[in-house]
Amino acid sequence: MQKSKQLFILSAPIRSGKTSLLRAWTDSATCFGGFLSPNSPTGRILWFPSIKQQIPFELATPDSNCLSIGKFHFDSKAFELGINQAITDLKSGKKYILLDEIGKLELEHQSGFYQGLMELLGLLPSYPDSKLVFVVRDSLLDLAIDLLKEYHASVYDLDEFRNQIQARWIILAGGESKRMGSPKALLNYHGQAQYLYLNELLEANNQIPLLSLAYPNQIEHGSIECLYDLEDYEPCGPMSALLSYHNTYPLAGAYLIACDMPGIGKREIGNLLKSKSNRPLAAVSDFGPEPLFAFYPLDLLCQLEFFHDQGEQSLRRILEKTGFQELIGINPLALRSIDTQQQAQNWFKHE
C-alpha cells in the first residue's frame, strides 16, 4: 500500500487568514508541533502549539542580532528556537509539524529557517507517519515547489485546505450483512435506501458524507463519493474504514455513522455536531461507548495504525483504552442495531 504523502503546502496571499485557520486547526488536537507566526500588537511572534508558548519574532527596529528582509526585521535567535522546536516535536512523535511560514529569507536567500528546514527534511524519512505542513505566500509558491519537488508535496489554496481539514462523515455500508441476508445499506426504513437517507440528512447539515465500501461496485451508489477499504486493512470492519479514511484524508478527523441504526435521525446528528470536542465523542449504552455513531479526532486517528499492528480491531475497546467524552442526550433506542430480518420486522412493527 502506498503511504499517504508527508508534505503539504498551504499557499495564499498575505493577510488572507492562513495563520488564523491553522491556529483553529491546532486547537482541535494535541498532535501538532512546529510553529505558527501570528501577528501581535508588537509584530509577529512564534507560537509553539506543542508546548503552548510563544516567543518574540519580529523586531520594531533592527539590531546587531537580527535578520532583515526589506522593511521587516526578525530576531535571529527565534529562527533557531523555532526550527529546534519543530525538530524536537518530530522526534517526540508529533504527527503534524507546521512551519508558518517559509518566505523570501529561506526561498531566495537560503537564510532564516533554511538550514534547519533542510535538517528537518533529512529526518523525515525516519518518521514515515509524520507530516510537514508548509505555509508559503502565493507569490513564492513556485520557489517552494521547486525546493520540495522530490517530495511531491500536495499544494492547497486557503479554501482547499479548509476543505481538507474538515471532518467527514463515513457512512458504513461495507459489511457483509450475513445475518440480515441482504445489504443493510439498501434497506428502506425511511422511504429510500438507508445510505441515501443518511446522505441526505448529512448534506442538509452541510456535512461531507463518504460512503464506505469494502470494494468498488459493492452496491449501486450513484454520485456519492466513496471510500474503499485499502488492502492492507482488510478485513477488520469499521476499523478498516477509519484506517483507509486516515490514509486518504490525513488532515481531518472523522465521524462514523452506521447503516444498521435506523433510529438515528436529524436530532441525533445535530446533537453530535453541537458537541464539539478535541476528544473522541461517543454515546454510552449498557455495552459501553457506541463506536459506530461517534466522532474520531485526529489524535485518535493517528493512533489507529498502532492498534491495528497490535491486532486490536475493536473500536469500542480502543475508545475505552484511550478515553472519550460521553455524548449526552442520545436516546438509547436510536442506537439499536438492526442485524436480522426478524429485528427489521420488529422495528417496522413498532415504528
Q: Final residue of a domain: which of 131, 164, 197?
A: 164
23 and 119 co-located in one domain: yes
Give the chain's largest Cα–Cα span: 82
- List residues bridging with 99 in a β-sheet: 35, 134
Query: What CATH number does residue 60 fall under?
Result: 3.40.50.300
14 and 31 co-located in one domain: yes
Residue 225 CA to residue 208 CA, distance in Å, equals 9
Mean pLDDT by 10 residues, the chain (351 residues): 77 94 93 96 94 94 87 94 97 97 94 95 94 96 94 94 96 74 82 94 94 84 86 82 95 95 92 89 90 96 93 95 92 86 78 62
Strands 254-258 and 288-296, bridge-based pairing: antiparallel
The pTM (predicted TM-score) of the whole model is: 0.91
- Residue 64, domain extent: 7-164
Residue 270 CA to residue 169 CA, distance in Å, equals 13
Q: Final residue of a domain: which of 110, 131, 164?
A: 164
78 and 11 co-located in one domain: yes
59 and 153 co-located in one domain: yes
Query: What CATH number does residue 220 fall under?
Result: 3.90.550.10
131 and 248 co-located in one domain: no
Q: Final residue of a domain: which of 134, 164, 194?
A: 164
pLDDT, position 183 = 77
- Our count of domains for the chain comes to 2
Neighbour-count burial of 168, counting CB atoms closer than 10 A to its CB (0-12 exposed, 13-18 middle, 19+ buried) = buried
Residue 320 lies in a domain: yes
pLDDT, position 1 = 44
Residue 203 lies in a domain: yes
313 and 173 co-located in one domain: yes
343 and 220 co-located in one domain: yes
Which run of H or E residues covers position 242?
helix 238-248
Strands 58-59 and 32-35, bridge-based pairing: unpaired
131 and 184 co-located in one domain: no
